[in-house]
Structure 1
Amino acid sequence: MTKSTAASKDRRLGKGLAALLGEPMPEDAPIGMSAGFGENQTSQNQPSSGSDGNSQNGPQTILLEVDQVETNPFQPRREFNSDEIASLAESIKSHQQLQPILVRIVDGKYQLISGERRLRATMHAGLKEIRAEVRQADDRLVAELAIIENLQRKDLNPIEKALSFKRYIDEHHCRQDDLAKRLSIDRSTIANLMRLLELPESILDLLQAGRITAGHARALLPIGEEDIQIHTANRIMAERISVRATENLVASMLKSEADSETGLKVTNRTRQKRKDNRPQIEALQQDLRMVFGSKVEIKANTRGRGKLTIHFSDNQDFERILAMLNPQQPPQLKIAG
Structure 2
Amino acid sequence: MASKIIYLLIPLMTPIAFFLAAQITYDHGVLGLLGYSIMWALSFIAFYFTQNRKPVAIQDPILRSVIKGVYIIEVIFCIFLVLKIIFTETDFIYMTLINIILMATVPLFVIYLYKFNPKLVAVATVLLGIAISFLIPTLVYLKVSIPTVYSGIHFLSTDLLRFDRPATWLLVASLGIILVARQYLYRMVDIHHKARTRFAPFLIAAIISSIVMISFGTISFLGRAQAVLPDLSDRVSIQVINRFGGQFAQILFMSITIFMIFFIFITLWESIKGGPKKYNPLLIVIGTLIPGLVVPYVNITLLDAFLYFGLFWSPLFGLIFVPVTTIYRTRIGFLFGLCMSLAVGLIFTIPFGILAGACSSFLLSIVLVLFGPVEQKNLQL
**Fold match (TM-score > 0.5):** no
Higher helix share: 2
Instruction: Report 1 or 2 for greater relative contact order, CA contacts < 8 Å, sequence distance ≥ 6.
Output: 2
Pair member with larger Rg: 1
The alignment's TM-score, normalised by the length of structure 2, stands at 0.23
The alignment's TM-score, normalised by the length of structure 1, stands at 0.25
Higher strand share: 1
